[in-house]
Structure 1
Amino acid sequence: MPPAPGEEQHPCLALANSAIALPGGHLLDALATPAGADHWLLERGLTPGPAGLQEMCASQLRAMREHVRSLLAARAAAHPARPAALAAVNDALTRVPTAQLLQWDESGPFRAAPHPTAAMLDHALAAVAADVADLLTGPDAERLAACGSPPCNRFLLRQGRRQWCSTRCGDRARAARAYARRTQQPTP
């Protein structure tokens, strides 16, 4: 599927849209496997190279996706945000250390950076968290919308009157409206 409007500028939209509901109850999930999640991060420049993610890290990324989706949905529908989603984004923003941390083992104290794979994921999650915070508080927030073509679950930044994430969704919505008009029974 082509990226929804705004995904190229906002990695948080790309993350939210990384699981796509398709007609017939099918789901296309780019983060379903650790290799898929690793590829997704690398493709968007959120990691400097392959991170070699394990299932635990891919699961963290999928959990962040659900929190981001929750915040985007709340903003698009003008509802309050879930506290758990806010806490997860704020945790990701503050989790990335800016210096080597003090560590201690049987030989004594030392300074070291976290495990490289974990650090790459933490930096990627922090980048997505910062982006969602910027999107929700910035000028593009007013343009944020959910795709208007069920069962699509993607988010987009509206451009003009456009209410769909792709031409495919717009065509499907127009076809459904036309079918509904043709099959509508006249009322006596």
Structure 2
Amino acid sequence: MSEPLTAASAPPPAPGGEEYLALDFVNSAVALPGGHFIDFLGTPEATNRWLTEHGLAPADAGVQEMCATQLRSLREHIRALFAARVTGLPPLPAALSAVNDALGRAPTAALLYWDEKNGPYRTAPCPTDEILDRALATLAANTADLLTGPDADRLTSCDSTPCNRYLLRHGRRHWCSTRCGDRARAARAYARRTQPKAD
């Protein structure tokens, strides 16, 4: 079930999302109580808005469904890598390949072209392709930085069901937001009250 994108229904950024764009990226699909779901990359327009808000595309980039699909696919591969890191299990080879492929997409230099009239010249590739490639490469590089950097040991998943977000743990905190922490504490309190008393 999908819920309209509203500030009231979306949780605040998870701890670490300000430091690591990749963390905010994987958390752009949020499972909420009651079977509700918010996907900030659910449509081309929403994807363009998310990219613009994160400095990865101009507001008039005109993101198409194909681009949004590529970004959603990379998000799922990064989620798989985060899950592997958190659980200590080996990563899926497809997830590693997807991140490495995205890393290689960033144009490092203007390409060489040849004009019949004026001869050789250099220019960047098609701007729309370049925007997507740079966004994918930036997100992949930030993922690699997080997974190989000093904060990797702090990466964890939110401990509140049904939340599917990741965060950087601070102290003993295992929740992505106060809302999730309150929900987890309430669930524990309810479980204690409803457990049969031992004789």
TM exceeding 0.5 = yes
Partner of residue 62 from structure 1, selected from 44, 68, 72? 72
After superposition, the CA RMSD in angstroms is 2.1
- SS at structure 1 position matched to 2:156: strand
* Unpaired stretches in structure 2, ≥5 consecutive residues: 1-10
The 8 Å contact of residues 3 and 14 in structure 1, kept in 2 or not, is answered as yes
Alignment of 1:156 onto 2:167: yes
Aligned to 1:26: 36
Aligned to 1:73: 83
- SS at structure 2 position matched to 1:117: helix
How many percent identity over aligned positions? 64
The 8 Å contact of residues 68 and 85 in structure 1, kept in 2 or not, is answered as yes
Displacement of 1:50 = 3.3
Counterpart residue identity of residue 160, structure 1: G
Counterpart residue identity of residue 98, structure 1: T
Counterpart residue identity of residue 114, structure 1: P
Partner of residue 169 from structure 1, selected from 155, 165, 180? 180
Q: What are the equivalent positions in structure 2 for 1:109-148 lying under 5 Å apart?
A: 112-148=123-159
The 8 Å contact of residues 39 and 50 in structure 1, kept in 2 or not, is answered as no
Aligned to 1:36: 46
The 8 Å contact of residues 81 and 96 in structure 2, kept in 1 or not, is answered as yes
Alpha-carbon distance in 1 for matches of 2:61, 2:181: 37
Partner of residue 95 from structure 1, selected from 90, 105, 109? 105
Counterpart residue identity of residue 157, structure 2: A
Displacement of 1:142 = 0.5
Higher helix share: 1
Displacement of 1:153 = 0.2
The 8 Å contact of residues 16 and 65 in structure 1, kept in 2 or not, is answered as yes
- SS at structure 1 position matched to 2:31: strand
How many matched pairs? 188
Alpha-carbon distance in 1 for matches of 2:89, 2:34: 29
The TM-score normalised by the length of structure 1 is 0.93
Displacement of 1:103 = 6.4
* Structure 1 stretches of 4+ moved >4 Å: 109-112
Counterpart residue identity of residue 128, structure 1: L
- SS at structure 2 position matched to 1:27: strand
Alpha-carbon distance in 2 for matches of 1:79, 1:31: 28
Give the 3 Å change call, closer, same or farther, for CA 50–6 of structure 1 in structure 2: farther
Displacement of 1:41 = 0.7
